[in-house]
Amino acid sequence: MDIIRLIAILVAVAIVVAYIVINNVPTNIHNYITQPISIVNDSLSKISSSVITPNIELNTQGLLSVLSSINNGAGLLHMHIPSAPMNVTGGLSFEVPKLPTSINGTLDMSVQPYNERAMTLLITNHLNCTVVINNITGNYITMNRQYTVPPQGTASIALTITNAQALYQSYTAGEEAITMNLTACGVGITTEGILGKTTSVQLSIPNLSGGYVRIVVRNNYPFMVTIYNITGRYITLVSPVEVPPNSTASAEFHVWNYTGFYALYQEGEEVVNASMNLGGTVISGEFILSRGINATPISTGGVLRVNVENPLNTEVIIYELRGQYIELASPPQVVPPGSSYITINVSNYLGLYRGIAMGNEDVLIKLGINGINLTMVTPLSTTAGLSDLRGAILSIPVENPTSHAITIYNITSPILHLMNTTTIPPIGETVLRFLMTNITNPVGKNVTILLGIMGVNLTEEFTIGSTGLEPTIIEIPIKNPLGVPMEIINITNQYVHLMAPVEIPPNSTGILRLRVTNASALNEYVNVTVMVGSTMVRLRVRP
């Protein structure tokens, strides 16, 4: 709304009127006159506050871009909710190795000839079960791969030497301490010893201190399962594992206390928290390890990836998306023009998809578009499109560049209206909240603004154009700072017309009501007729 040009016209009127009164211009002046720059400079300082500018900076272009996208059928966003495997049967089972009641035995290690770079250990397994050597580390030696020693068998293990001279001194002095991480009879054990020409390591199972256990996971689902995490009181999955459909995989777990874990497991009380991807759907929940995981994706919650189409030529910010069973993950999320996706947390897939199927899964969504926030409640479907804005709430920032508080009592149009009276402080800003009542094409529709400034109530009328609000009827308060009555009889040109004469008593305020037919041509000359006291003045001014 270009009120500034209209204000310039009125300031010119006030300047000339003040000049007439102050300088005792003869009353017979009745011809058109123009204001010399000397008059303007002399009078402007005297009556600079004669015209009050009820101007507000409103983001109308942002509003129009939102409404236009709805009207042309493009909508705001199109969300595609993936289908959940509703009738999938299957499950995961865990084959936990039995903890032997009592196993005692030894591993013998003998050092074979070595050089500056490598050393070979000959391992002899005196147990009646397989021993897997996962790692051996010392001050100056490392192991690069895993070795398996069969029951009552042997294996040669290659070690890398990191400092030959230091190793020789430590080894000959009997001070080369080594740490062995191994799995014996399916149970992980960590033990320590001193590397000698011949070393015997005593193994005792169970080991109360804990260790590592490899558990076979059987996948009975017809799709790939990725286990991200399993955590219980005494057990934690070391790293994620993928289990092919109708197949098995070995998962490594760290057991903090063998005795405690096996006691709970054998009694069916080892409760674990698990998160996994079942056929593209992420789920999480509590399960009893000994019973396996017999959940279908529809029976629990998790994280859902939702494909989104943004038909606008600007990004859309999703600040909030919330329903009975869903919530936006990590808000806000930015949706660029074109195809992308968002992630949402689902508390219950069954409830979500049942609500979608019945058409009663309503969600609250808050968007940001071109500096305008939009809040709405809409039913969620598998192909939800945000196009019907009836009942939506628009939050539009507005600025007051004047030195007076402006109160917006109401803003109405066929497409929206202001929800509550709002006061904008001087040289300040606030947010106007509108309720959408219609989604028809906004261009050509009228907008009425009721506002108050310095105790004066004004009514402004605009038409929505393709680029913003175009003024049609503008009310502007003007003070009479003079000691004589002043009457604005007419203000007119091809595009601006004073709708009715306005009488302003001395030191009072009047309201000029102007009709504007072409706001883009307000810089044209305007003919003004003013009566000051008993003096009639006709002038021609240009903003």
pLDDT tens sequence across 258-279: 778 887 887 888 888 888 888 7
Q: Is residue 121 part of a domain?
A: yes
- Pick the residue with more confidence: 249 or 396? 249
**Number of separate domains in the chain:** 4
317 & 382 share domain: yes
Same domain, yes or no: 261 and 308 = no
Q: Would you state the structure tokens that stand for residue 543, as one six-digit string?
A: 């903003």
Task: Identify the DSSP state of 69.
Answer: H
Residue 186, domain extent: 103-208
Where do the DSSP E strands lie in 165-237?
177-184, 187-194, 198-205, 211-219, 225-232, 235-237
> Full-prediction pTM beyond 0.85?
no
Among the candidates 291, 317, 340, a domain finishes at 291
Same-domain status, 190 and 273: no
Q: Of 260-269, 296-305, 414-423, which gets the smallest average pLDDT?
A: 296-305
Is 197 found in the same domain as 235?
Answer: no
Query: Both 199 and 277 in a single domain?
Result: no
Quick one: pLDDT band at residue 440, thresholds 50, 70, 90?
low
Nearest Cα residue to 305 out of 85, 78, 80, 87: 80
Domain termination site, one of 329, 352, 386? 386
The domain boundary residue, chosen from 245, 271, 291: 291
Q: Tell me, yes or no, whether 308 and 282 share the same domain.
A: no
Contacts of 101 (CB under 8 A, 6+ apart): none
Q: State residue 50's pLDDT score.
A: 41
- Mean pLDDT is lowest, of 15-19, 112-116, 390-394, 440-444, for 15-19
Same domain, 176 and 203: yes
> In this structure, is residue 143 part of a structural domain?
yes
Residue 435 lies in a domain: no
Residue 251 lies in a domain: yes
Residue 282 lies in a domain: yes
Q: Are residues 216 and 203 in the same domain?
A: no
pLDDT of 382 strictly over 70: no
Cα of 427 vs its chain's centroid, Å? 31
Backbone torsions φ then ψ of 155, nearest 5 degrees: -155, 145
**Angle 312-315-321 from CA coordinates, rounded to 5°:** 100
What percentage of the chain exceeds 90 in pLDDT?
10
Same structural domain for residues 107 and 184?
Answer: yes
Q: Do 273 and 304 share a domain, yes or no?
A: no
CATH of the domain at 328: 2.60.40
List alpha helices for 147-257, DSSP H: 164-172
Query: Which DSSP string corresponds to 114-168?
Result: --SSEEEEEEEE-SSS-EEEEEEEESSEEE-S-EEE-TT-EEEEEEEES-HHHHH
Q: Is the pLDDT score of 4 beyond 50? A: no
Which pLDDT does position 99 carry in this prediction?
64
- Predicted local distance difference test score (pLDDT) of residue 321: 92
Predicted pLDDT at 240? 94
Which pLDDT belongs to residue 103? Answer: 61
Q: CB of 363 within 8 A of CB of 383?
A: no
527 within some domain: yes
Task: Let me know whether 220 and 240 are in one domain.
Answer: yes
Per residue in 139-165, pLDDT tens? 888 998 899 999 889 999 998 988 888
Of the pLDDT bands very low, low, confident and very high (cuts 50, 70, 90), residue 115 is: confident
In a domain, 503, yes or no: yes
Asked if residue 25 is part of any domain, the answer here is: no
Please report, for the domain that includes residue 195, its CATH number.
2.60.40.3090
pLDDT beyond 80 at 38: no
